[in-house]
Amino acid sequence: MSEKKVPYKIYLEESEMPRAWYNLRAHMKNKPAPLLNPETLKPMTAEELSVVFCDELVRQELDNDTAYFEIPGEIRDFYKMYRPSPLVRAYCLEEKLQTPARIYYKFEGNNTSGSHKLNSAIAQAYYAKNQGLKGVTTETGAGQWGTALSMACSYLGLDCRVYMVKCSYEQKPFRREVMKVYGADVTPSPSDTTNVGRKILAEYPGTGGSLGCAISEAVEVATSTEGYRYVLGSVLNQVLLHQSIIGLETKTAMDKYGIKPDIIIGCAGGGSNLGGLIAPFMGEKLRGEADYRFIAVEPASCPSFTRGEYRYDYCDTGMVCPLSKMYTLGSGFIPSADHAGGLRFHGMSSVLSQLYDDGLMEAVSVKQTDVFRAAEEFARVEGILPAPESSHAILAAVNEAIRCREAGEEKTILFGLTGTGYFDLVAYERFHKGEMVDTIPADEDIRKALDKLPKV
């Protein structure tokens, strides 16, 4: 089929939407390392995990063998309100860059929460409701996850308590209010409502908080409140499983037009959108059916893959969560309060960490000001106002397309456009005023945090 026939947007029919999530772990030779109990250093059992997470999600978390999990009908119905999401051929960006490369992006910003996070939020809320729970607790950084979860909870009639990183709570009143529209209870973190919050406040008075710290608070509330469980918007195996809907839809749409990507790019915070986008493609690579280049893009201010170490670490600052083996900068690492809010996590999904360690995936880190330059270039030709997180992937895709131009190569590039940037206009303003700085942590700051890693 000739390339000219590819439309600007490839939409799937409702009937073509995936009916099952794909569990990439089933086809990994080297499975991701198990979560460890922080006290005994033994693998977490389903029983131990079920104090924190609801039962079906524990099952999904621990299952490294089942390749497909059927998506319950009620979740599929919810998906239909904002999915399938379009796969866009970036004709205008190609033209602007004068590149022979063909560029595609999967756009996940077409819902009120403005990101892919809703794909997992509805699944997690559904299983909590199904178990007869009263509510869920969580943390949110930039606010996308909290917004997505509050939408899912209000749809299903579940209480939603969100611990929001304090600097975001103060800098992003709009996200906070959207969460309240959907009925969520939002608390700035660290707060004096939990033991761990009070401890962190005493140690670091005036801190703007971090994701790791908000996680500790949300877990404490979930495990000490009857009828509540904790839910997490990224990093965990179950979240990557739910996000596989992104890659499955993309693969179906590409197959329809006979398109095969050479390079697949995604931004990486905790790894859920990237893990979801690459899942079916990486599956083919693992099974020896096809080959692709995969590139994770992270901010230079929080470079877990490119400057971290592959070790067991805590997922939270308060060290109450299980230990996860992952590329990490150390749970004590507090990244600069720059604007890629959703990419400010010290660690990374253990699935992606294992794939990266096995040399199946590449990673690059990029600077904030370059990211915003790429974001603006993209907005001006493609129309969509991208989220700063997503713009990390845009920048890497643009760089690859320019490389293709210089080498005269007709590669096909696919990237994940995870969300929109309407709530990030303060960051855009700082960029326009020339006030945005590129913060790159010193080796010794990373060393200091890594030295505090548990000895496992």
Ligand X SMILES: *Cc1c(COP(=O)(O)O)cnc(C)c1O
Residues contributing to the site for ligand X (CB under 6 A): 115, 117, 144, 234, 267-274, 342-343, 387, 389-390, 418-419
Q: Which is nearer to ligand X, 275 or 283 (CB)?
A: 275
C-beta nearest to ligand X: residue: 419
**Least distance (Å) from ligand X to the CB of residue 272?**
3
Token output for 105: 């992006």
**Edge-to-edge, what's the strand order for the sheet holding 9-10?**
9-10, 87-89, 102-107, 412-417, 263-267, 293-299, 362-366
**Least distance (Å) from ligand X to the CB of residue 343?**
6
Q: Is 349 helix (H, G, I), strand (E, B) or coil?
A: coil
**Dihedral angle of Cα 214, 217, 219, 225, to the nearest 10 degrees:** -140
Q: Which is nearer to ligand X, 140 or 252 (CB)?
A: 140
Q: Which residues contact 63 (CB under 8 A, 6 or more apart)?
A: 23, 25
**Least distance (Å) from ligand X to the CB of residue 53?**
17
**Least distance (Å) from ligand X to the CB of residue 175?**
11
DSSP secondary structure letter of residue 36: B
**Least distance (Å) from ligand X to the CB of residue 337?**
16
Q: Which residues contact 345 (CB under 8 A, 6 or more apart)?
A: 141, 211, 212, 234, 235, 269, 270, 302, 304
Q: Which is nearer to ligand X, 152 or 387 (CB)?
A: 387
DSSP string, 71-117: PPHHHHHHHTTT-SPPEEE-HHHHHHHT-SSEEEEEE---STT-BTT
> What are residue 386's DSSP bridge partners?
420
Helix, strand, coil shares of the chain as percentages rounded to 5? Answer: 45, 15, 40
Angle between helices 211-224 and 195-203 (to 10 degrees): 150
Q: Which is nearer to ligand X, 250 or 272 (CB)?
A: 272
**Least distance (Å) from ligand X to the CB of residue 133?**
24
Q: Which is nearer to ligand X, 237 or 272 (CB)?
A: 272
Q: Which is nearer to ligand X, 201 or 375 (CB)?
A: 375
**Least distance (Å) from ligand X to the CB of residue 143?**
9
DSSP string, 210-240: -HHHHHHHHHHHHHHSTTEEE--SSSSHHHH
Q: Which is nearer to ligand X, 267 or 282 (CB)?
A: 267
